[in-house]
Structure 1
Amino acid sequence: MTETIRPDGWNESDFQMVLSIFEQISSIPRCSKNEEQIAAWLEKFGKDRGFETKRDHCNNVLISVPASAGMDNLPAVILQAHTDMVCEKESGTNHNFTADPLKLQYFKEEGISWLTAENTTLGADNGIGMAYMLAAAASDSIAHPPLKLLFTTDEEIGLTGAQGMDSDFVSGEYMINLDSEEEGTIIVGCAGGTQICFKHLVDVENAYDSDDSDDIGGSSSIDSAADSVVDLVVASDDDSVPAKPYTIVVSGLLGGHSGTDIHIGRGNANLILIQFFKRLTERYTQNVIKLIKIKGGTAANTIPRRAELSFVTDIPADSLRAEVADYVMLISSVPSFNDPNVSVEVADADLSNIKKSGLKSFSAKNTGRILNFLIAIPNGVFEMSASIPDLVLTSGNLAIIKTRSNAEYFKGAEKEAESSDLDIYTEKSKRELEIIYSLRSGNELRLKEKIKEMMALSEKHHFNFEITHTYSPWEPDFNSEFLKNCAEIYRKTFGNDVRISAIHAGLECGVFHRQFPSMKMISIGPDITAAHTPGEKLNLDAAEKVWIYLKEILKSFGEMPQSDGNVTE
């Protein structure tokens, strides 16, 4: 299937076993928070082969594999990957992530073998890591010390499986994390992260009312920052153009991983949308502009690819279309912008079944205040690493924006029905605005400083602030003997030096280092492009190379020093 060039005499046909196992994994639904089926399958895999296997309250699974002949007395090595995947699909695709298997597609491009999925994320992040581990356990020919195969849950939404794991669930002197995405690189550090939720319950009114005397959230005291935007939008005295509802849609973006892709110029659909909306308010200060609803982004760790909002305005439709055309030209001309297929469209809102008197919106004042807060939320790269070239140190991602009706808010529904987004004509007097924002930093002090800044911003604009997930960075130690040994194995195996670096993404190594500070860790993995998007694909030639490398590391444990005076950070 693949055409990896390897030294004479090597027979790496067992890579087919890795792919076969990956195909089985891909047939099992495993979105974050929906990992019961994959945990049960893993448990059965271990028990069917007579391995000691256990599962905890978080659905983390541990399979203990005895050493191969002659390596029984070596310390146990933990191989670790996460079971969940980011579930993204192309617009209009009918794939049901809770029931349908992924549709895998093998193809070649410029002589390289690739694997992808039809119109959905592939889940190579981190399904290929799981496949490596299970193939090593199932093989009778691979030399290895005692193995602890650790499969963790909910990595993609905050590393909560690793964080919820009891400290006595697993033990070992060494850990090889298999969740990296660049062959030829050993990762020895990662970013920590925090997921923040901003919320506010805001008054709504008849969309065509001219009364604009209310305050955001019904508060009687509004800070000066909020007051400064009150005059952005005022009722028009010109009745020649009646106010109408419109929808703006931003689409066509590549998206990507909010850590590893945050610095390469990918457009953020939420940011593009609110910046265009602000542009309208600044250019049409004498017109009615009132927000009805907004929805953008699907996951906290993904750069949003699509966003839309509906609003009422008396700006002529031709003017709106001209503004859109100018705006697309403007953002496309920015040299750092790397999203050539960006689309911004404005169209009549499809509200034909709603009586004019029933359409609800935020007032003009509250529209301005909401917009002012959204614009103030920082997005993108804040700081680059001073010690590692081209590595982002600290960043933020405006991941999800959505409005919910008052009825949904008080029901406390955790999962909205698809139809709930159409509840824009409710008779209730309030609507909730919710914003999910992710912060990352490779330095714990910087992360804490940014959290404080976001807290101050929310207080300034009278939004509720909640930290929903947080995890620590794994700060690099480049002097670890385990790292040096693994680097030498790569050089001997492939004839060239391995790159040693850190990544601006969360790895469970950060959690495990906090729990087990003396454990020696590295992270490796194959080339995965466009992770967290429907364009995700796995380089099979790189994947086979990582498989070869992993086996060489396992085989050489008998020759490694068994004491490492350095603590891997």
Structure 2
Amino acid sequence: MHPKTRQILEIFEEINKIPRCSKHEEKLSLWLQEWGRSRGFEVKTDAVKNVLIKVPATPGYENSPGIVLQGHMDMVCEKSKDSKHDFSRDPIRCVYDGDWLKGDGTSIGADNGIALAIGMALAEAGKIGEIEHPPLELLFTVDEETGLTGASGLDEGFFEGRILLNLDSEDEGELIVGCAGGQNSRVTLPVEWEPFDYGKEGGFGLFRLSIEGLEGGHSGVEIHRQRANGIQLLARLLVSLKEKTGQKNLRLVFFSGGNVHNAIPNYAEAFLALPRSKKEEAEAFISGFQQTLMEEYAESDPEITLELKEVENRVIFETAGGKVKRKELPAARVFSAGTEERLLGVLLGLPHGVYRLSDTIPGLVETSNNLAIVRTREDEVKILSSQRSSVMSRLDEITGKVETVAKLAGARAEHEYGYPAWEPDLRSGLLTKCRQAYAEAFGKEPKIRVVHAGLECGVIGSKCECIEMISFGPTIKDPHTPAERIFIPSIEKVWFFLENLLKSYR
């Protein structure tokens, strides 16, 4: 392992000792500020706890244009169902597996903690004369993953540079020059309950029906892979199972699935009342349904698992925002028949997946939707849908479809603040310099791409019209999932590329 890679990973492991789920970056923000001041750098922060660390130019670069190195502090906190990890307090354990670094049953936060580590290592290297660079500003933002609110909250003039290097891309050797815009919609379906006697007709049991083992993944980066959506598959199964066992023999009590807006839901669960006499029939049907799904998703989700299990008590454990919450289901009631029909209808009716491919860039997903989260509350079911598009009028179109489906189901849809797309500029002087720096370092041209994921460049560019931007980073696989991992040799390549690029500004 290259010594610089080792240094970067040591910093990254220190970062991973600090809790930093989205909207909970306070401790990391303070730690970064202290890190900067302890090294003699000017540090400032703003109302939302974004951090800026100003690193003076090395000798000979004092008159070079200022460069902003930018990444975000927060991470998507996902874990396997059997993990006992508590993201609010437990350090993330880094596991080295050959050329890969991964978590121990959790997402590892390489998206985007590795950007922080690279920027900090670069600042330290310049300070001791290991590399040359222009004036630098390390811009570390909060809450990127749940709506880019850190970038949105940046004050005018918070940073001075007009060249921005965003280190939040996930395929080394690619330069990202544009991204999609996004919009989240919250659908609220009122719940009507009706009394229910579990002892009638020979006895009903309370059962948990779950779907697990799905690949999930980033809803922008991997939406084109057509991976299974746990929420929609469970809704589909419930409709079929009700037809098999009889509408009156299966009554819903609870539905939950997904965890964050930008991850394809890799699990879902429902609690239902079912006659114990129907259990074997239901299990046989579910087994056959699982085989059907395994055939349908043989390439994308080969480990799909369905399970029906009676619940001895009424206690369930629901994961939300990286935390596990204990709930006790109320006894002697179920969803009304109308609520069941409306809920399953809206879950099956909402769009999910690729909606439209780009007309101008072959293979690029232009517009998509992610049916991301479902939660049952006392008087309502809350559903989160996340739309993306690189064409803002098409973003409005698919958001309108979400609202229409909600209205048809008797639900209401409320739309959160969206974020703008970043339109590519293929004539950018920064892009030219980046291509040259990469070619000089590795003897080949980098790939130039526009991505369907949302990047902070879109928001920052909308605030600073004269800024030039580009995004790149080391190779990260399966971000936003417990399988997230970073390819260690790619870190060294990013370092050499950055070193070449910064040197070119003399």
Q: Give TM-score scaled by structure 1 length.
A: 0.83
Counterpart of 1:90 (choices 61, 77, 80) is 80
Q: Match of 1:42, SS? A: helix
* Alignment of structure 1 residues 123-162 onto 2, 5 Å: 123-139=109-125, 140=128, 141-162=130-151
**2:176 is the counterpart of 1:205:** no
**2:42 is the counterpart of 1:80:** no
Partner of 1:195: 184
CA distance in 2, matches of 1:357, 1:403: 12
* Alignment of structure 1 residues 430-509 onto 2, 5 Å: 431-509=379-457
Contact kept? 2:198, 2:205, Cα under 8 Å: no
Displacement of 1:477 in angstroms is: 2.0
Contact kept? 1:259, 1:301, Cα under 8 Å: yes
Displacement of 1:287 in angstroms is: 3.7
Displacement of 1:209 in angstroms is: 9.3
Compared CA separation, residues 134 and 279, structure 1 to 2 (3 A): same
**2:475 is the counterpart of 1:527:** yes
**2:18 is the counterpart of 1:28:** yes
Q: Match of 2:183, SS? A: strand
Partner of 1:217: none
CA distance in 1, matches of 2:242, 2:4: 61
Which portions of structure 1, spanning 4 or more consecutive aligned residues, are displaced by more than 6 angstroms?
352-357
CA distance in 2, matches of 1:164, 1:375: 36
Larger Rg: 1
Displacement of 1:242 in angstroms is: 4.6
Q: Match of 2:259, SS? A: coil
* Alignment of structure 1 residues 256-275 onto 2, 5 Å: 256-275=217-236
Contact kept? 1:207, 1:363, Cα under 8 Å: no
Give the CA RMSD over aligned residues.
Answer: 2.1
CA distance in 2, matches of 1:324, 1:373: 22
Q: Match of 1:378, SS? A: coil
Counterpart of 1:555 (choices 500, 503, 506) is 503
Displacement of 1:13 in angstroms is: 2.8
Displacement of 1:79 in angstroms is: 0.5
Counterpart of 2:251 (choices 279, 287, 290) is 290
Structure 1 residues 292-324: Cα deviation after superposition (integer angstroms, max 9, x where no partner): 001111111111121110112347112211211
Task: Name the count of aligned residue pairs.
Answer: 491
* Alignment of structure 1 residues 107-256 onto 2, 5 Å: 107-108=97-98, 113-139=99-125, 140=128, 141-208=130-197, 242-256=203-217
**2:329 is the counterpart of 1:329:** no
Contact kept? 1:388, 1:501, Cα under 8 Å: no
Compared CA separation, residues 63 and 367, structure 1 to 2 (3 A): same
Compared CA separation, residues 34 and 335, structure 1 to 2 (3 A): closer
Partner of 1:427: none
Displacement of 1:479 in angstroms is: 2.0
Partner of 1:402: 375
Displacement of 1:356 in angstroms is: 12
How high is the sequence identity, in percent, across the aligned residues? 39
CA distance in 1, matches of 2:423, 2:197: 55
Contact kept? 2:43, 2:52, Cα under 8 Å: yes
CA distance in 1, matches of 2:329, 2:268: 25
Residue 542 of structure 1 aligns with an amino acid whose one-letter code is S
CA distance in 2, matches of 1:105, 1:334: 33
Query: Is there any run of 5+ residues in structure 2 with no aligned partner, and where?
Result: 317-327
Contact kept? 1:297, 1:305, Cα under 8 Å: yes
Residue 120 of structure 1 aligns with an amino acid whose one-letter code is T
CA distance in 1, matches of 2:330, 2:477: 49
Contact kept? 2:245, 2:282, Cα under 8 Å: no
Counterpart of 1:365 (choices 316, 338, 356) is 338
Q: Match of 1:37, SS? A: helix
CA distance in 2, matches of 1:249, 1:151: 39
Structure 1 residues 22-58: Cα deviation after superposition (integer angstroms, max 9, x where no partner): 1211111111111111100111111111111101111
Residue 462 of structure 1 aligns with an amino acid whose one-letter code is G
Partner of 1:228: none
Compared CA separation, residues 289 and 364, structure 1 to 2 (3 A): farther
Residue 13 of structure 1 aligns with an amino acid whose one-letter code is P
Residue 489 of structure 2 aligns with an amino acid whose one-letter code is D
CA distance in 1, matches of 2:247, 2:162: 68
CA distance in 2, matches of 1:286, 1:181: 47
Counterpart of 1:511 (choices 459, 464, 486) is 459
Contact kept? 2:33, 2:51, Cα under 8 Å: yes
Structure 1 residues 349-406: Cα deviation after superposition (integer angstroms, max 9, x where no partner): 334799999322111222112211111111111111222232211111111111012x
Partner of 1:53: 43
Compared CA separation, residues 45 and 318, structure 1 to 2 (3 A): same
Counterpart of 2:486 (choices 534, 538, 550) is 538
Name whichever of 301-310 and 149-158 sits farther off. 301-310
Contact kept? 1:207, 1:362, Cα under 8 Å: no
Contact kept? 1:251, 1:342, Cα under 8 Å: yes
**2:306 is the counterpart of 1:344:** yes
CA distance in 1, matches of 2:370, 2:83: 26
Residue 278 of structure 1 aligns with an amino acid whose one-letter code is V
Contact kept? 1:288, 1:364, Cα under 8 Å: no
Counterpart of 1:391 (choices 352, 357, 364) is 364
Compared CA separation, residues 318 and 491, structure 1 to 2 (3 A): same
Name whichever of 239-248 and 70-79 sits farther off. 239-248
Structure 1 residues 236-261: Cα deviation after superposition (integer angstroms, max 9, x where no partner): xxx86654432211011121111111
Query: Is there any run of 5+ residues in structure 1 with no aligned partner, and where?
Result: 3-11, 211-238, 406-430, 559-569
Contact kept? 1:207, 1:290, Cα under 8 Å: no
Compared CA separation, residues 553 and 312, structure 1 to 2 (3 A): same
Displacement of 1:459 in angstroms is: 2.0
CA distance in 1, matches of 2:428, 2:247: 64
Displacement of 1:159 in angstroms is: 0.4
Q: Match of 2:360, SS? A: coil
CA distance in 1, matches of 2:463, 2:330: 59
Name whichever of 365-374 and 159-168 sits farther off. 365-374
Partner of 1:418: none
Contact kept? 2:315, 2:329, Cα under 8 Å: no
Residue 267 of structure 2 aligns with an amino acid whose one-letter code is R
Partner of 1:66: 56
Q: Give TM-score scaled by structure 2 length.
A: 0.93
